[in-house]
Amino acid sequence: MDFWNYATDVRIFVVLGIVLALCIGSIGDIAAPLSIAVLTVQLTASIHGLHIKREEFRSDIKPAVLSLICCFGICTASALLMGLFFIDNTALWYGWVMLAAVPAGVSVVTLALMMKGNMAMTMIAMVLIYGAAMFITPAMTFVFIGDAVSPLEILKYIILFIGIPVLLNIPLSRVSIQRKYKVSFINVLMMVLLVLTLGRNRDFIFENVDLLGMLILACIFRTFIVGSLMLYILRKKGVERQNTVVYVGYGVWKNSGLGASLCMLLLVSYPEAALPCALSLVVESVWFALTNKSVSTNWPAEIYPEETKSYGGKAQ
């Protein structure tokens, strides 16, 4: 196995991120703005080189809308359901609400690329989801959290999170970057994000091992169980493979890093609020690594979509 095989393996960076977070611990209040900066750079790298053709928009708008429903329907509902088990703990309940309210993880783009999914549908859905998030995320947090978080502050960060990567990609679109370099860079950012979010709660983790186990089980349910059920049902219904993997991605993968960052920035009085999001970040990454391998083995793509060439090129 050469260097780039290791560098593009997200599992290695997840393990490194957890180990470093537990060794380093909290770096103080600077962790919150730093995590937002890391997420912004990660989104910039994720969408680099991606574009949507007009004819693809017309043919893929319906499945893209269904992806939006998977994100703010199935994924949001499963997060809120898990949060109900922790409703007596105000900080953790707020954290689950934030996780439920944020849009899908930008890594769904990577998922679609690596699992040979419908890339045009993935990108259209991402645009729709983040557009909807400007209304849904502040509204949901206001309904379930109330005055503890300002909806306008949440809206501000979401606009910045979307706007900066889009603007940066205007000049960057002229630069060609091989996929292996982008994936490796994104993996490093994932590791840094884990250090910032998990490290902030290191002492709480060590002091509440039983509660940590319950949180991990809840995260496993909303990823592995929900994802497996979606995959089974959609395949049974005869939904195209390239669309199915995208639906499952949007039905499972939240932007947990954004949720954790918003908790650290806006729920300062509740430091443990970021924990459900931080743990979801870990479990979602493990879920993706294992699901990618499982689907590739048990439901391999018969034809690698030609449109992959338009979205950053084939794997190097």
Burial class (CB in 10 A: 0-12, 13-18, 19+), 194: buried
Q: In the predicted model, what is the mean pLDDT of residues 284-312?
A: 72
Instruction: Return the pLDDT at 51.
Output: 67
Residue 112: which of 124, 94, 129 has the closest Cα? 124
Q: pLDDT per residue over 69-93, tens digit each?
A: 999 999 999 999 999 999 999 999 9
Q: pLDDT per residue over 261-271, tens digit each?
A: 999 999 988 98
Question: What is the overall mean pLDDT for the chain?
Answer: 87
Pick the CATH number of 9-296 from 3.40.190.10, 2.40.50.100, 3.40.720.10, 1.20.1530.20: 1.20.1530.20
Residue 137 has pLDDT above 90, yes or no: yes
Q: Is residue 308 very low, low, confident or very high in pLDDT (cuts 50, 70, 90)?
A: very low
Q: Is residue 52 very low, low, confident or very high in pLDDT (cuts 50, 70, 90)?
A: low
Q: Is 0.85 topped by the overall pTM?
A: yes
Instruction: Return the pLDDT at 55.
Output: 65
Pick the residue with more confidence: 175 or 211?
A: 211
Q: pLDDT per residue over 214-228, tens digit each?
A: 999 999 999 999 999
Tally Cβ neighbours within 10 Å of residue 143: 11
Instruction: Return the pLDDT at 240.
Output: 94
Residue 26: which of 201, 193, 255, 185 has the closest Cα? 201
Q: Is residue 1 very low, low, confident or very high in pLDDT (cuts 50, 70, 90)?
A: low
DSSP string, 150-172: -HHHHHHHHHHHHHHHHHHHHHH
Q: Using CA atoms in the order 232, 186, 285, 74, what is the torsion angle rounded to 10 degrees? A: -50
Instruction: Return the pLDDT at 114.
Output: 83
Q: In the predicted model, what is the mean pLDDT of residues 151-167?
A: 87
The span from the CA of 108 to the CA of 91, in Å, is 28
Residue 49 has pLDDT above 80, yes or no: no
Tokens 């479990």 found at: 283
The span from the CA of 32 to the CA of 30, in Å, is 6
Burial class (CB in 10 A: 0-12, 13-18, 19+), 28: exposed
Q: What is the DSSP letter of 175?
A: S
Paired tokens of 282: 């870990």
Q: 113: Cβ–Cβ under 8 A, 6 or more apart, which residues?
A: 119, 179, 308, 311, 312
The span from the CA of 64 to the CA of 247, in Å, is 9
Instruction: Return the pLDDT at 173.
Output: 77
